[in-house]
Structure 1
């Protein structure tokens, strides 16, 4: 039997309230939660940008 469970590490982020409100508004326009927006949009874009800057 293959173990498909992944080890996860908790992640806590603190952001300024004005930044949170902007993220919340952008997420709402897409019909997703703030957490989904951070996971699906912000983090992948940040990772791509970081990889590009290291080349």
Structure 2
């Protein structure tokens, strides 16, 4: 992941979400989703569509 993407991801979870419980829940779901993607061979989020 490019450094700018890492920074944006980190800033979103640390600066934009003020409630610690919400931040923890969002982070948990994000990690689960990224793990799901990795298990299926998706190495980039670019091609993923709704």
Return the TM-score normalized by structure 2. Answer: 0.42
Q: Is the radius of gyration larger for structure 1 or structure 2? A: 1
TM-score (norm 1): 0.40
